[in-house]
Structure formats: structure tokens, C-alpha cells
Amino acid sequence: MRLIILDDASTVADWAAQFVLQRITQFAPGPGRHFVLGLPTGGTPLGMYRKLVQFHKEGRLSFKYVTTFNMDEYVGLPREHPESYHYYMWNEFFKHVDIDPNNSHVLDGNAPDLVAECHRFEDLIQKAGGVHLFIGGIGPDGHIAFNEPGSSLVSRTRVKTLAYDTLDANKRFFGNDMSKVPRQALTVGVGTVMDAKEVMILITGVHKSLALAKAVEEGVNHMWTVSAFQQHPQALFVCDEDATLELRVKTVKYFKSLMVEHNKLIEIKR
């Protein structure tokens, strides 16, 4: 696992976007050769999306031959609801780039058969040849996608009933009315993300520092589902200084000493 420690959230956004640019450019997608990207929603990746849109507008990055799979979606929320992940992805990213909407997959939380929808999503990932790079974010409790504490670390895409803490945390997006927060969501499993060839997790803010410490310095534990990525062969955690506050000084110094190597990951060789 690589831990990339950067000054602040905006540097994390820039570094992450540069990494995506590097990976897609190096892959050289084209007809019949799509780069497959897994994507999160939330506050953390917004800066990265803005930067990717900028790269696209500057003519440095095309999504024409990129296929995307999103991590999760609420159940029963209309697509056009401002808190739906369909709405978020369309407004924050897809509508600003040249991706073919047929290639940008977001779970359908209004499907008549939710279990079948989850299987369909896993099948689509298989048919696309698997995910090259899955980007994720985590919650302060170490959840990735909607894989809350105690989720199986080999889980696949499925329907999840959300924990009270999640409903409470999300009520701010629903007029502070807990009764308006969807009770269920569809989410990729930890195993689904683990199958990606490469995983990049973005972690910013002091409120995520305990989760980062659990993920990096302690053992693999289903109570901190992000810790599963210790066992991924190509996982990158990209964080800001604030998120390192619960790490040991020794851990921070160690990973910082590797920054020259880490920065080679975002060099674009022509």
C-alpha cells in the first residue's frame, strides 16, 4: 500500500486528477479498448472532478473510450433528486466531458428488482473486463461506498439497509429531516472494489484521521472496512496533512520519505 501525504485537500484533488490523467494517457484507450474507471460521489472527490473537467477542456484528456462504474446509489430516490448520485455525477462530471452516457454506469435505485440490479451491475463490470482504477472515498467510521462497519470484506454489490449513524450524518442533505433520508442503498461490495487492478482512496480532513490510522497502522478489520485494502496489491491512499493527525510520527515520516518515488506515478512519459 502506498500512502501519499499532501499539504491540503486542494493538493489531494490535483494529485488524484493528475494520476487519473496519467493512467488513462498511459493506457491509450481507443475503439474496442476502454479504460474502466470506478468512481465515488461525496465532497472529497469534487476537486478532482473539477480538475479532470479542466484537463478535458484543455484538450489533454478524453473520456470517449472510458467506461465508468459508480460505487453506490440510494434506493427509491428519483434520479433528478439533487441528492441522488445520478444527479451528482451528471452535474459534477459527466455533462462536462465527452463520455458516452451509455458507458457511464450508476446503479439504479429505482429498479423493480433491486437484487437483479446488483447482479446486472457486477455482470457489466465483468463484461467490461474489470475495473482498471477504482477511486473511493471513506467516512469517518472507515466505510468505503456504503460498506459500513461490520460489512463483509468479501462482499459484492448488494442492497444495504443504512445504519442509524449514516441516516443521522446524511440528514443534513435532506433538510435535517431524518424521515426524508432513504433507508436503503445499493452499493458495490468491498470485494468488488478489491477486484480492481488498482485502487486510489482519497482521505481529507481531521475527521477522517482515526479511520486513516486504523486503515494503515492496525490490522485488517471489518469494523473499519477500508482496512481491507492493506491486502490489495496496488492500493494508493492519498491524504492531506489533517488526515494524518492520528498516525504515528514515524509512519508519517516513513511515507513522506518516499514522496520522490510516489511523484513518479503522476509523471506522463511521452
- Catalytically annotated residues: 72, 141, 143, 148
Interacting residues with ligand F6R between 56 and 95 (CB under 6 A):
71-72
Name the 3-class secondary structure at 162.
coil
Of these, 144, 181, 212, 213, which contacts ligand F6R (CB under 6 A)? 144
Binding mask 123-142 for ligand F6R (x = CB under 6 A): --------------xxx---
The order of strands in the sheet holding 235-240 is: 2-6, 235-240, 198-203, 133-137, 35-39, 66-70, 104-105
Task: Please identify, among the stretches 36-44, 176-184, 213-221, 244-252, the one whose residues bind ligand F6R according to the rule CB under 6 A.
Answer: 36-44
CB of 215 to ligand F6R, least distance (A): 13
Which residue lies nearer to ligand F6R by CB, 5 or 29? Answer: 5
Please write down the HEC assignment for all residues of 179-242. HHCCCEEEECCHHHHHCCCEEEEEECCHHHHHHHHHHHHCCCECCEHHHHHHHCCCEEEEEEHH
Whether residue 199 contacts residue 191, with contact meaning beta carbons closer than 8 Å, is answered with no
Cell 451491475 found at: 121
Which residue lies nearer to ligand F6R by CB, 40 or 109? Answer: 40
CB of 260 to ligand F6R, least distance (A): 28
Whether residue 52 contacts residue 88, with contact meaning beta carbons closer than 8 Å, is answered with no
Which residue lies nearer to ligand F6R by CB, 223 or 268? Answer: 223
Of these, 30, 43, 78, 150, which contacts ligand F6R (CB under 6 A)? 43
Q: Which residues bind ligand F6R (CB under 6 A)?
A: 40-44, 71-72, 137-139, 143-145
